[in-house]
Amino acid sequence: MFLKFSLRSVFNGAGGGNDIQWCFSQVKGAVDDDVAEDIISTVEFNHSGELLATGDKGGRVVIFQQEQENKIQSHSRGEYNVYSTFQSHEPEFDYLKSLEIEEKINKIRWLPQKNAAQFLLSTNDKTIKLWKISERDKRPEGYNLKEEDGRYRDPTTVTTLRVPVFRPMDLMVEASPRRIFANAHTYHINSISINSDYETYLSADDLRINLWHLEITDRSFNIVDIKPANMEELTEVITAAEFHPNSCNTFVYSSSKGTIRLCDMRASALCDRHSKLFEEPEDPSNRSFFSEIISSISDVKFSHSGRYMMTRDYLSVKIWDLNMENRPVETYQVHEYLRSKLCSLYENDCIFDKFECCWNGSDSVVMTGSYNNFFRMFDRNTKRDITLEASRENNKPRTVLKPRKVCASGKRKKDEISVDSLDFNKKILHTAWHPKENIIAVATTNNLYIFQDKVN
Amino acid sequence: MLGKGGKRKFDEHEDGLEGKIVSPSDGPSKVSYTLQRQTIFNISLMKLYNHRPLTEPSLQKTVLINNMLRRIQEELKQEGSLRPGSPAASIEELCPTSTSTEARGASGGAGAGAQRPEGPQDGRADDPKLMDSLPGNFEITTSTGFLTDLTLDDILFADIDTSMYDFDPCTSASGTASKMAPVSADDLLKTLAPYSSQPVAPSQPFKMDLTELDHIMEVLVGS
């Protein structure tokens, strides 16, 4: 199937972040910005890339499906159209604390496909749910005992026997909750990650990480607990966690102090002692009041190969080799021009924004979001980077996106944007890269943009 | 609140306030460093108290802000840059030594709450909500340590003299700088002493449990 794609597909390796010309493909969502419930809170491709799921602040999940390539019109990859929409979580009330539990979907993770149905895990702050999404394109017709509308016939009028047959019907996609994993997290869940054994998964909140079996909902195992005996001694929280893509006993978790711990579940039942601790010593020339806050890691993602992991902190993206704990092997500055604005960003809370990051299919390019609806890509091979904007202004399909540049200080060149003009309300926190192709999904506040590389 | 492309009034102050941190030891830049530190301290306090969402506030954010406050307090403690008497006196004035006879001892209460033994967490289907009411407490107990009743008053009663904690960083260029005398941890301790039946050791400054806080709130709001 891959042979049909252009030579600039990812497997060729030549498709670096800057050899590619990114084009607008689609935008989903309302034009006006005001509906809070529509704020996209997570974006995730499934393992084949055919399905793209988004979760929003209102607890809904919307799944898009890529239409199969039209052989005649091979100028673009298939478009993504709505496949299924369902309400995953509802708001709840915690009576003990007199606080609402938000229905906002924090994360979605797909299970690999085993049969005709698709499965995904979605989570809010407290409860994880396993959803089954299945298609129905046939229905039984010709019941013996029922009328077509479902009413039962008077048995005395039944004189012949006939067996219902399946006849085609319009495709219906149904989502049903198959498991609900509740009451295991006192604090807010920030991550879920499915193990490579495809039988277990972990869920992480601010202070604890639990291990679940997908079939069992009334029990989970606590594998990390960093809650101090005296809560007043709490100075560090867990910010993200992920299983290793190949090694089913290994996982990592990141902290608000900029450290990443790799744990091996074979070592002990409670993995409070890490196998490896990844931490870069602080650069003394960059010290400020905000050093700790900007070192807090907002996302951690293993490379597909499993050899590297990537972390995102407020100003940079770092690539770590799992064999080297004392410093990252690569560091990319996302928006260094914000370093002199940290006090304002602390005041308006932007410094606490949690940006995610992602790898492309071949682990050669990484991507993350920024402000002003900008997002950035870093090519690890060529060491070049590019800044693009997700905006409805460039919304003609196959329009090549123009690179953006922020002018940090001094004379602003034409087409550059000065730091003071950046809109900090327009933040791109969630991005996803198709596992095999050069198709990316970028979420602005309440719109989802899909970009593709230029074909032909 | 967020600038949508327009210049924000904080910009003017920013250049003096942002940028590389200056060493606290050199002369004139020590003032700017102290100013910067005080502003950040004030902003941090405001963040913990102005924010009363319907949903639980982010523990990560609370922890980071608390760490910031602690760090600044440590610095202040080490510098010992306190004018003895005056800040503590104003605090005493605003918060009369009303008794809290029903309140339990500070360290006793918080200690018991925090050290409730927790078994292994298999089978957490039984209610972890009861097991741990501390997330809410954490926000209140640790941050009330920094808060003190003084800042509660800032928010609740506008007519009380709040010049010592002037929150507007834009006007703090020169004139009010002298009023923003940093309050040392020791002074804060003295204000808490009337509210606990046990002496509060300097090494465990801010143990105030929920019941005491409720009582204090009652006193402040009821009067």
* Per-residue pLDDT in tens (0 to 9) along chain A, 456 residues: 444 443 333 333 334 445 789 999 999 998 876 788 899 999 999 999 999 999 999 999 999 999 987 645 555 678 999 999 999 999 999 888 888 999 999 999 999 999 999 999 999 999 999 999 999 999 988 888 888 788 888 888 888 888 999 999 999 999 999 999 999 999 999 999 999 999 999 999 999 999 999 999 999 999 999 999 999 999 999 999 999 999 999 999 999 999 999 999 998 888 878 899 999 999 999 999 999 999 999 999 999 999 999 999 999 999 999 999 999 999 999 999 999 999 999 999 999 999 999 999 999 999 999 999 999 999 999 999 999 999 998 678 788 999 999 998 777 788 899 999 999 999 999 999 999 999 999 999 989 999 999 876
Return the residue of B nearest to A218 by Cα.
B125
- What's the length of chain B? 223
Question: Would you call A235 and B63 a contact, using CB atoms and an 8 Å cutoff?
Answer: yes
pLDDT at B82: 54
The more confidently predicted of residues A435 and B147 is: A435
Residue A329 has what pLDDT?
98
Nearest CA to CA, how far is B185 from chain A (Å)?
Answer: 16
pLDDT over 80 at B44, yes or no: yes
Residues A352/B58, Cβ–Cβ less than 8 Å: yes
Residues of chain A neighbouring B116 (CB-CB closer than 8 A): none
- Name the DSSP letter for residue B184: P
User: Which residues does chain A have within 8 Å of residue B52's beta carbon, measured at their own beta carbons?
Assistant: none
**Residue A378 zone, left/alpha/beta (φ > 0; ψ -120 to 50; rest):** beta
- Distance from the A353 Cα atom to the nearest Cα atom in chain B, whole angstroms: 10
* Cβ A201 vs Cβ A216: under 8 Å: no
**DSSP H or E segment with residue A432:** strand A430-433
Average pLDDT, chain B: 55
pLDDT value, residue A150: 80
pLDDT at residue A271, rounded to an integer: 80
For residue A425, list chain B residues with Cβ-Cβ distance below 8 A. 2, 4
Rg of chain B on CA atoms, in Å: 19
User: Do the Cβ atoms of A219 and B125 come within 8 Å?
Assistant: yes
Provide the token pair at A386: 């590019």
Residue A330 in contact with residue A366, Cβ under 8 Å?
no
Q: Which residues of A touch B40 (CB under 8 A)?
A: 289, 343, 346
pLDDT for A142: 86
Model pLDDT, residue A115: 94
The pLDDT of residue A5 is 40
- State the pLDDT at residue A74: 58
The shares of helix, strand and coil residues in chain A, as percent rounded to the nearest 5, are 10, 40, 50
- Burial pattern A58-75, b for ≥16 Cβ within 10 A else e, equals bbbbbbbbbeeeeeeeee
Confidence (pLDDT) at B16: 41
**CB-based contacts of A91: which residues, under 8 Å, 6+ apart?**
A59, A100, A101, A102, A103
Whether A64 contacts A80, CB under 8 Å: yes
pTM as predicted: 0.75
Q: For chain B, what percent of residues have pLDDT higher than 90? A: 15
Q: How many CB pairs under 8 A join A and B?
A: 160
User: What is the C-alpha separation between A54 and A350, in angstroms, rounded?
Assistant: 23
Q: What is the mean pLDDT of residues B113-127?
A: 37
- For A235, counting Cβ atoms within 10 Å of its Cβ (0-12 exposed, 13-18 middle, 19+ buried), the class is middle
CA nearest to B10 within chain A = A344
Q: What angle do CA A75, A78, A79 make, to 5 degrees?
A: 115
Interchain contact, A350 vs B2, CB within 8 Å: yes
Could you tell me how many residues make up chain A?
A: 456
- A-chain residue closest to B128, CA distance: A186
Interface contact flag, B138 A101, Cβ < 8 Å? no
Count of CA atoms in the C-beta half-sphere (13 A) of B126? 7
Compare all CA atoms of chain A with the CA of B130 and give the residue at the minimum distance.
A96
Do residues A290 and A283 make contact, with C-beta atoms less than 8 angstroms apart? Answer: no
- Residue of B11, B18, B62, B204 to mutate for A, most A C-beta atoms under 10 A: B18
CB neighbour class for A309 (10 Å; exposed up to 12, middle 13-18, buried from 19) = buried
pLDDT digits (tens, 9 = 90+) for B156-205: 444 444 444 444 444 333 333 334 444 444 444 344 444 444 444 444 44
d(CA A265, CA B105): 42
Task: Report the alpha-carbon distance of residue A165 to residue A154 in Å, rounded.
Answer: 21
Within 8 A by CB and 6+ apart from A87, the residues are A59, A60
Closest chain A residue by Cα to residue B114: A230
**Pairwise CA distance, residues B140 & B123, whole Å:** 29
d(CA A210, CA A220): 6
Token digits of residue B171: 């006007």
- Greater confidence, A93 or B105? A93
How far is residue B163's CA from residue B72's CA, in Å, rounded to a whole number? Answer: 20
Query: Are B105 and B211 spatial neighbours (Cβ–Cβ below 8 Å)?
Result: no
C-alpha–C-alpha distance, residues B39 and A173, integer Å: 55
CA dihedral (A221, A227, A228, A229) in degrees, to 10, reads -60
φ/ψ (deg, to 5) at A30: -75, 155
Q: Report the first-to-last Cα separation within chain A, whole angstroms.
A: 18
Predicted local distance difference test score (pLDDT) of residue A418? 93
Helix (H) or strand (E) holding A175: strand A165-181
Rounded CA-CA distance A58/A38 in Å is 6
Tokens 């020169």 sit on residue: B174
Q: pLDDT value at position A73?
A: 58
**Burial (CB count within 10 angstroms: exposed 0-12, middle 13-18, buried 19+), residue A41:** buried
Spatial separation of the C-alpha atoms in residues A41 and A263, rounded to whole Å: 28
Higher pLDDT, A28 or B215: A28
Name the residue with higher pLDDT: A207 or B92. A207
Q: Binning pLDDT at 50, 70 and 90, where does residue B223 land? A: low
Residue A174 bridge partners (DSSP) = A134
ipTM of the complex: 0.90
